[in-house]
Structure formats: C-alpha cells, structure tokens
C-alpha cells in the first residue's frame, strides 16, 4: 500500500469530492473511499496534510486523478485578483478544491445520468451499474465493484438502465454505450481545441450544453469551460445582477470575464452556494444573539 502525502492548504478532500464534479465516493472511516474505473483509494485530511492511500501500482494514476502536479495556489491568487466580493468569499472558503482528472468514458456516462437529477440519486444510479455489472476488485482486504466494461453495458437492454433509476435517460445511455463499444474514441477528442471538443461532445445524443461543459472540464481539464446549472444561474442572478436567461450565454458571460481560470472559479462558487451559504447565513442571522449569550 502506498501513501501519498500532500499539503492540505490547497487540497481539502471533502470539498473536492462533494463539490458536484464526481459521484463515485462514499464516506469511510475518517475519510472517503474513492473509485475510478477499477482502481480504489482511501483519502482524508489530517492535521495540515491530505493523504491518499492506494495500491502501489496505482500511485501515478491517483496523482494524476487528483491533479497533484498543478499549481492551485496560483489559480487561487488569480481568482482573488478578480476582486469580486462574493467571489473572494467563495475562493477563501473553497480554496482546497481541486479539479479531478476523471476517466473520460465513466465521466461522460455519469454526467449523462446527472441531467435533471440530484447528487444522491446520481450516486445511487452509478453504484447500481457497478454492483450489477462491475467486476469484483480487492482493495485493502475487501471486495468492491469496479465500473463496468463498456462491452457489458452495451449488451444491456433499455429496461436495465431504467432499473438503475435513469428514466428517460435510459435510451440515451443505451445508445451511448453501444457507440463506445463500437469504436467511439473519447481519447481522440483530447487533441481538439476546447470549442471543437465541446462541439464533438454535443453531437452525442442526450448530451446537452451543461453535460458537455462538465465533461470538458472534469475529464479533459479545460479550465476555460464553465458549466451552468440551477445553482450557477442562481449565482448569476443574485450575486452578479445578471439579466440573461439563456444558459449558454450565461456560460459565455463567465468565460469572457474569467478566461482560463473559469473552471476552478465555477467550482469555488458552486460549492459555496450549494454547500455553505445557507449555514453561513444562519450564523450571521443569529450572531448578535450568540454574542449576547456568550
């Protein structure tokens, strides 16, 4: 077993896993069990460090998966230099987020499942696919299910995908898996510039603008991508006084404003709005009473 130790200033394991970019994790002990394809690791924060425990042969994979070679301090400082009060708050609260470099096939399937869905249901659907069709893999003395081979997924009928809780998405997933098994090569898209990459993803039936933007960011590490969902639209209206209604135009608004740092800024803001803002508002609301009681 290999243990990778990393400074936690720019690697908060919980924030990285729960900020909406990834669905194949579960709480385990003091940290999280993470699966990517057929590889597993256990990761957690302790003291001033983040730790990743994985099989020796998977060290290079997880160093790449957690994007450990990228300078996130530089991204953090560039985001602060934009000098937006709301963004500064998001950046300070979320500076431990890293953009994962996820396997392309699994990521595309996961985000196709994510359309008009919520994170617990997405996680359950992905888990269902793994438990029904994924091979058993031993990690740290226990057996877990890997993400299924595309060939096995492609052989399933639509009812299998509906049983996974995919609803109307079942037809899209069935067709996608057949195309992937038939030779659609997502790795070749990595050679394309960002706009062309997104155009190719949008040609896949069932892939809309938001899914294409997510895959472009979370699989191809194109930080000039800015996915827009209900949370980002809420931020645009409430915190940037935005008037646009077309999500493609909202995405362009942010990429024009933030350029090459757009992707990480999107995650800072999404994480704060979805996971932190309500609790912070509660604290601010009751702060005078807390002071009085103390």
Q: Quick: pLDDT tens for 181-215.
A: 999 999 999 999 999 999 999 999 999 999 999 99
pTM: 0.91
Q: What is the mean pLDDT of the chain?
A: 93
The whole-number pLDDT of residue 282 equals 43
- pLDDT exceeds 60 at position 39: yes
How large is the average pLDDT for residues 228-249?
Answer: 95
Rg (CA), the chain: 20
Structure tokens at 253: 């608004």
pLDDT of residue 280: 61
Residue 218 has, within 13 A of its CA and on its CB side, a CA count of 27
Res. 277 pLDDT band, cuts 50 70 90: confident
Q: Which residues pair with 49 in a beta bridge?
A: 7, 46
- pLDDT average, residue stretch 168-182: 96
Q: What is the structure's pLDDT at 281?
A: 54
Query: What is the structure's pLDDT at 288?
Result: 41
């Amino acid at each position: 077993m290999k243990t990778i130790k990393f400074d936690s200033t720019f690697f908060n394991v919980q924030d990285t896993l729960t900020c909406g970019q990834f669905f194949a994790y579960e709480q385990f002990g003091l940290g999280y069990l993470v699966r990517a394809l057929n590889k597993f690791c256990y990761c957690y924060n302790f003291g001033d460090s983040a730790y990743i425990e994985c099989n020796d042969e998977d060290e290079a994979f997880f160093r790449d998966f957690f994007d450990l070679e990228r300078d996130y301090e530089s991204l953090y400082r560039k985001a602060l230099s934009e000098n937006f009060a709301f963004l500064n708050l998001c950046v300070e609260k979320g500076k431990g987020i890293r953009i994962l470099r996820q396997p392309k096939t699994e990521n595309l399937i996961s985000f196709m499942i994510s359309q008009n869905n919520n994170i617990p249901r997405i996680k359950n659907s992905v888990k269902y696919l793994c438990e029904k069709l994924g091979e058993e893999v031993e990690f740290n003395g226990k057996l877990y299910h890997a993400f299924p081979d595309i060939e096995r997924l492609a052989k399933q009928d639509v009812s299998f995908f509906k049983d996974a809780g995919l609803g109307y998405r079942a037809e899209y997933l069935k067709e996608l898996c057949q195309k992937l098994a038939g030779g659609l090569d997502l790795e070749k898209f990595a050679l394309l510039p960002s706009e062309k990459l997104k155009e190719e993803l949008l040609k896949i039936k069932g892939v809309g603008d938001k899914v294409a933007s997510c895959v472009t960011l979370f699989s191809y590490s194109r930080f000039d991508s800015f996915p827009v969902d209900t949370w980002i639209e809420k931020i645009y209206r409430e915190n940037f006084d935005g008037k646009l209604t077309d999500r493609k135009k909202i995405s362009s608004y942010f990429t024009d404003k933030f350029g090459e740092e757009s992707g990480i800024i999107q995650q800072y803001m999404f994480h704060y709005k979805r996971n932190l803002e309500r609790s912070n508002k509660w604290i601010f609301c009751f702060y005078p009473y807390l002071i009085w009681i103390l």
